[in-house]
Amino acid sequence: MDFNPIGVNVVTASVKIGEVLKSWDIDKSGTVDIFDLVFVSRHFGETITYPLPDPTAPNPDVDGNGMVDVFDLVLVSKHFGEEIMPGAPTLLDVYLTATVIRTRNGIKLKFERPVWAIWSENIEPSDNAVIVLKTPKGKSLALALREPVDELSLRRIDPSLPIVGIDSDMRLVSIRLKNMPDRTVLLPNYPNPFNPETWIPFQLAEDADVTIRIYDLRGNLIKTLDLGHLKAGYYTSRSSAAHWDGRNELGERVASGVYIYRMKVGDKAFTGKMVILK
C-alpha cells in the first residue's frame, strides 16, 4: 500500500484549517487582495444564514453578523496585505481600455468591458454606485457593488500612475486610459501647400457621420470624401485623417490654386482652406 497520498492530504487540510481563521481571506487564496473585495461586493446586500451549509466555502460575511455590507468590505480592505508591486501592471498581459471623458464634475471613465474594481494610487470618486476604499498602503480602490459597471464617474485619477482592475471575467487587468476630445474640431490640412496629396485631420467629440467636400473658389464641388460613421476620437495621424489625392470625381488631377474643404459632422459644418502648388 502507498501511504504518501494520505500524508499529503493531511498536510493540505491542516493548511486550509489555518486559513479559515483569516476570514477576510475569503477565497482562501492565502492573500487578502482585490479578489476578496470583489467577492464581498458581488454578494453585497445578501443575508447569510448560519450555520453555513458548507463552512469551507467562501463566506462574504466577514464579521459573521448575517449581512454582507460595507463593514465586511472595510474589514477586508483593512487586512489588505498582498498589494500588487508597483511594476506589476506592466507585467499584466491583459489590457482594458477606458475612455476618459471630461465632464463638469470631473471625469467619466467608459470601459470597453464592465469592471468590478479599479485600483490605483489616487482615485477620487463622485458616484454613489461605487464605493472607494483605502488600503493600508495608501492606495484607493473603486469597487462596483452587486454587478460590474461600464462607467465610473470620478473626481480625479492620475493617468501617469499604474491602474489595475478586475474585469467581469474576474481577471486582473491593466487599465489603459484613452483621452477623448471634449469638442469636435477640423484641423489644418498637411502638408499645405501640397502636391499632389494632402491629409485633413480632425477630432470628434461624439460618434458621427462625417463627410468632407472639397470646392474650388467659385464654389464648384470638386470631390466628396465620405468617411462614413466614425467613433469619437482623434483622427490626426496619416492613417486616420481624411486623405485627398488631389483628384476630382473623374480621377483627374485638379489645377493649382486655392480650395475650400468643408467637413460635415452630423448637422454641424467646419471649413478650411488649402493650396495646391504645382
Q: What residue ranges bind Ca ion (CB under 5 A)?
A: 25, 27, 29, 36, 61, 63, 65, 67, 72
Cell of 101: 471623458
Q: How far is the CB of 44 from Ca ion (least distance, A)?
A: 10
Comparison of 58 and 159: residue with beta carbon closer to Ca ion: 58
> What CA–CA distances, in Å, run from 112 to 42, 109, 177?
20, 10, 11
Neighbours of 230 (CB within 10 A): 16
> Which of 134, 111, 110 lies closest to 123, judged by CA?
134
Comparison of 53 and 251: residue with beta carbon closer to Ca ion: 53
Comparison of 59 and 189: residue with beta carbon closer to Ca ion: 59
Measured between alpha carbons, how far is 274 from 259 in angstroms, rounded to an integer?
5
Neighbours of 238 (CB within 10 A): 9
Instruction: State the burial class of residue 84 (Cβ atoms within 10 Å of its Cβ: 0-12, 13-18, 19+).
Output: middle
Measured between alpha carbons, how far is 39 from 60 in angstroms, rounded to an integer?
7
Comparison of 65 and 271: residue with beta carbon closer to Ca ion: 65
Q: How far is the CB of 58 from Ca ion (least distance, A)?
A: 9
Instruction: State the burial class of residue 213 (Cβ atoms within 10 Å of its Cβ: 0-12, 13-18, 19+).
Output: middle
Measured between alpha carbons, how far is 102 from 183 in angstroms, rounded to an integer?
10
Query: What is the β-pairing status of strands 208-216 and 221-230?
Result: antiparallel
Nearest residue (beta carbon) to Ca ion: 29
Comparison of 16 and 253: residue with beta carbon closer to Ca ion: 16
Q: How far is the CB of 175 from Ca ion (least distance, A)?
A: 21
SS3 at position 42: helix
Q: How far is the CB of 66 from Ca ion (least distance, A)?
A: 7
| Whether the Cβ atoms of residue 203 and residue 233 lie closer than 8 Å to each other | yes
Comparison of 61 and 167: residue with beta carbon closer to Ca ion: 61
Comparison of 67 and 232: residue with beta carbon closer to Ca ion: 67
Q: How far is the CB of 78 from Ca ion (least distance, A)?
A: 14
Measured between alpha carbons, how far is 122 from 142 in angstroms, rounded to an integer?
10
Q: How far is the CB of 30 from Ca ion (least distance, A)?
A: 7
Q: How far is the CB of 61 from Ca ion (least distance, A)?
A: 4
